[in-house]
Structure 1
Amino acid sequence: MKYLLLIVFIAISPAGIAQTKDEQTDTSPNRNLTGFEALDEKQPLWEVGIGGGAIEVPDYPASGERNTVALALPYAIYRGDIIRIGGQGGARAVVVENQKLELDISFGGAFAADSDDNTVREGMPELDYLFEVGPQLIYKIQDYSFNGGGNARLAAQLQTRAVFSTDFGHIDARGYVFEPTLRYQQRGVFTPDTGFSLSARMTWATEKLHDYFYQVTPEFETGFRPAYNAGGGYLGAEVSAGLAFPVMKNLRGFFGASMQLHHGASNEESPLYEKDVTYSVGVGFVWRGYKSDAKASW
């Protein structure tokens, strides 16, 4: 789920007045906002290195408890015509792609939360790692170029995904999510190699996922936590923004933040629902160690 992923901080572009582009070009920011190559350079088919960072996020949607995670791990990016792993789009398998539309099968995930560290969920089962898989439709609304340099894209995304939880011992189905998103991306903010993104997302989920976050069955009822039967529906909205910038050769940094808005969610009356507004912040880096001589075709 996106509320537990690293998101980057908002910045104001000084690039100037935008000019509409009539056609998709090789310099589209959709290619990879966070990539090392300039917009007029082809990206390598694959690259590997080390990425890391630290994020502070809510334990789950509308939670008043927070979770801080710091990681540094090897990373790999593959930019095939069909299979694409890593980069701005995560992991996905492209089914259809043209100048305006992309249809793919995409993947997402979220960190676990320890209920022993969360006072309102104390004594309840832990929230395991979540992962999602399902179709995603991307409509490229408009591309732009700027008088001061740089390109941008406005796109709409529709995602429908099945959600699963796992403790790496077993996997449980947790229902489905539907997430329409409006995303703006720009390459060329402050410097030609700086990338900026801004997005707004709304999320609806089936009852199974709401149960996972908000249901209190009788065996977990306490004096401060009454039993509650959760229902499906609206889960919340999120506004997020981010900045990716060069630090030195083969090293890029990231900084970002998001705000989650849960007012009007289906399960506001749950004793596990604590806050209408939550936020996430994070910083990170990517160091590229090796890249292929072969180039991606897009």
Structure 2
Amino acid sequence: MSRVSLFVLSILWCGSTFAQEDIKLEEDLRPVWEVGAFAAAFNNPAYPAAGQNETNVIATPYGIYRGKVLRVGDGSIVRAVAIDKSWYELDVSMAASFGSDSNDNDTRHGMPDLDFIFEVGPQLKMRIADFEFAEHGRSELFFNLQARAAFSTDFSGINHRGYVFQPQLSYVQKGWLSEKTALSIRLSPSWATEDLQDYFYQVDTDYVTAERGSYDAKGGYMGTNLGISVSFEATNDIRVFVGGGMTFHSGAANINSPIFVDKSTYGLGVGMVWRILESKELVSGR
């Protein structure tokens, strides 16, 4: 299995990473199921606080099911509608990042490669406010509590890498510039246990060089991400997503690591979701 393949699985589970940013108002009616294709390109840091970015491109089918009790790929991996109230939802949060070849990175050259990392855990999503604008649609403000277990894989085995705690303040607005345009703004600090911090920032004696001293990483604060994305309908069946973000690492627990390079990093992404087939039966968007 290639590095892209496991990321493709996460896309299949979530429907689409970018598609999650599309606001779903309570009165919206959507197909019970839909299938289509997703393509995207990402330019992100090789690892948190890395001094170099890497570009990855993916293309994959996707599927979404919006049942009366269970929903899959509708803005999350899986969600129990029975505990989906007007002001909170309990579902599953997921995050993923591509692996990185250390020999392509000036700071980590000669160190072990970073494998593909995926994170899974519960999420409590609370709607704390909603707004309606005369000319710019409707919006909602959410506060999400996310706790995830992190795993790395070289596709011959899976290693547990500790845990991540990531609260998130999320603002989403539908009808931002036009009826079919959506805006999303997210602010999310992250904390990680020592196992995951070791994976990124530890330097064992075997990998010490003249420019890279040994370092014993510790758990704690990793950084705060500010992300913005916009989506719009190119046609009735094709939706385009453009996003970017900055992560600020000042005050991070391992800022003194020799492979901790930049106190601020950026990421960019562009994607397209093409809905090919859908059910005639409709269900509420929430």
Using the size of structure 2 for normalisation, the TM-score is 0.88
Query: Does 1:103 pair with 2:90?
Result: yes
Conserved? CA contact 1:93–1:106, under 8 Å: no
**Equivalent runs, 1:33-48 vs 2, <5 Å:** 34=22, 41-48=28-35
CA 1:268–1:38: 2 relative to 1, 3 Å: closer
Report how far residue 237 of structure 1 moved: 0.2
Alignment partner of 2:79 out of 89, 93, 102:
93
Conserved? CA contact 1:111–1:129, under 8 Å: yes
Conserved? CA contact 2:136–2:178, under 8 Å: no
What is residue 171 of structure 2 aligned with on the other side? Answer: 184
**Equivalent runs, 1:20-35 vs 2, <5 Å:** 34=22
Q: Structure 2: state its 5+ residue gaps.
A: 1-6, 8-18
Moved over 4 A (4+): 37-41
Distance (Å, rounded) in 1 between the aligned partners of 2:243 and 2:154: 28
Q: Which amino acid aligns with 1:238?
A: N
Distance (Å, rounded) in 1 between the aligned partners of 2:97 and 2:68: 27
Distance (Å, rounded) in 1 between the aligned partners of 2:260 and 2:68: 43
Report how far residue 252 of structure 1 moved: 1.0
Report how far residue 40 of structure 1 moved: 5.0
CA 1:295–1:146: 2 relative to 1, 3 Å: same
What is residue 187 of structure 2 aligned with on the other side? Answer: 200
Q: Structure 1: state its 5+ residue gaps.
A: 6-30
Distance (Å, rounded) in 2 between the aligned partners of 1:221 and 1:79: 52
**Equivalent runs, 1:146-165 vs 2, <5 Å:** 146-165=133-152
What is residue 129 of structure 1 aligned with on the other side? Answer: 116
Secondary structure in 1 aligned to 2:283? coil
Report how far residue 149 of structure 1 moved: 4.8
Query: Does 1:287 pair with 2:274?
Result: yes
Distance (Å, rounded) in 2 between the aligned partners of 1:264 and 1:41: 42
Distance (Å, rounded) in 1 between the aligned partners of 2:25 and 2:246: 31
Q: Which amino acid aligns with 1:34?
A: D
Which is helix-richer, 1 or 2?
A: 2
Q: Which amino acid aligns with 1:62?
A: A
Report how far residue 186 of structure 1 moved: 0.5
**Equivalent runs, 1:1-298 vs 2, <5 Å:** 34=22, 41-87=28-74, 89-94=75-80, 96-297=83-284, 298=286
CA 1:271–1:63: 2 relative to 1, 3 Å: same
Report how far residue 81 of structure 1 moved: 4.1
Distance (Å, rounded) in 2 between the aligned partners of 1:41 and 1:266: 43
Listed one character per residue, the Cα deviations across residues 90-128 of structure 1 (whole Å, up to 9, x for unaligned) are 313337221111122322211111112111111111111
Q: Which has the higher contact order (CA 8 A, sep 6+)?
A: 1
Conserved? CA contact 2:35–2:61, under 8 Å: yes
Secondary structure in 2 aligned to 1:119? coil
Report how far residue 135 of structure 1 moved: 1.2
Conserved? CA contact 2:20–2:76, under 8 Å: no
Report how far residue 245 of structure 1 moved: 0.4
Using the size of structure 1 for normalisation, the TM-score is 0.84
Aligned-residue CA RMSD (Å): 2.1
Report how far residue 62 of structure 1 moved: 0.3
Conserved? CA contact 1:92–1:104, under 8 Å: yes
Distance (Å, rounded) in 1 between the aligned partners of 2:84 and 2:133: 25
Report the identity percentage.
42
Report how far residue 173 of structure 1 moved: 0.3
CA 1:39–1:84: 2 relative to 1, 3 Å: closer
Report how far residue 84 of structure 1 moved: 3.1
Secondary structure in 1 aligned to 2:251? coil
Of 55-64 and 78-87, more deviation after overlay is shown by 78-87
